[in-house]
Amino acid sequence: MNIPLVDLSLYTNGTEAQKVQFSQELGKAFEDVGFVAVKNHGIDQQLIDNVYATVKSFFELPHDTKKKYEIAGLAGQRGYTSFGKEHAKGSDAPDLKEFFQYGQTVPKGESAPEAYPDNVQVSEIADFNELFLNTYRAFEKSGAALLSAIASFLELGNNYFSEHIHLGNSILRAIHYPPITVEPKSAIRAEQHEDINLITLLVGASAEGLEILSKQNEWLPIQAGEGQIVVNVGDMLQRLTNDRLKSTTHRVVNPPREKWNTSRFSLPFFLHPKSQMSLACLDSCITPSHPKQYEDYTAGQYLDERLKEIGLKK
């Protein structure tokens, strides 16, 4: 599917007119589709290649080795989560994946906005933790630019999100969908769902499989082109904008039978604000014809609720 393609460099390095044009293009795409492809996103390709190689090495470790990085009590928010533990909201069927999550690290000299758990340190792979931190920071930077453009589109001022996402509760997730070894019960590797956060940045999935649900209720395959990332609206942003910006339903389907013996790796960055951010619907997005759709929540309250719904938190 040809989802809208935008050029982030027009916003980060462009003229004022180009910045306005980019904000309008991005905002309209998120209103109409909820997904865009982004080129010139600022995330170095060598960094992407290195982190994918490292992710592959981690998931090739023996199961017992990976399990020692699955820490009870963290609700999957840091470290390893074993195969089949997470399921989509409203589904009992587990997704056919394992994953590793890396969260916020507060730099020396800055005070933590909330009590973040420590990241789980992997000892078997050289530079694993440094590489994840560098990748996390690169995603943060690109995500902040995209949210600045969204704020401009919503006429909130381009710094609206800045204080909320600085040292926010974002998550970098490395996902492994293992080879299919027996006849699957379903054609779905990851059941249909919407993301929890403000926006998700997805770089270079190693295989096809991502599909989005169109307004015509049709499943359409999408994959970023060379050097592009895919960015979509999450439920927090949809909630904040009272459904003006769409959190598009998406899923990951099984490959064709001839590719069952292959793995799929994916690296989404779930951009979250600090837990204290209010998700109360913006006044500018509430009209007589479209009244307020959601009760007031903070980002932390909403995340907690959703983690329980997808089986990661009791």
What is residue 186's predicted lDDT score, i.e. its pLDDT? 67
CA-closest candidate to residue 231, choices 270, 188, 201: 201
What is residue 74's predicted lDDT score, i.e. its pLDDT? 81
- Residue ranges of domains in the chain, CATH in brackets: 5-309 (2.60.120.330)
What is residue 187's predicted lDDT score, i.e. its pLDDT? 63
All residue ranges of the chain with pLDDT < 70 are 1, 86-88, 90-93, 184, 186-187, 205-207
Mean pLDDT computed over every residue of the chain? 90
Partner residues linked to 298 by β-bridges: 278
Q: Tokens 């390893």 — which residue? A: 80
CB-facing half-sphere around the CA of 150: CA atoms within 13 A: 27
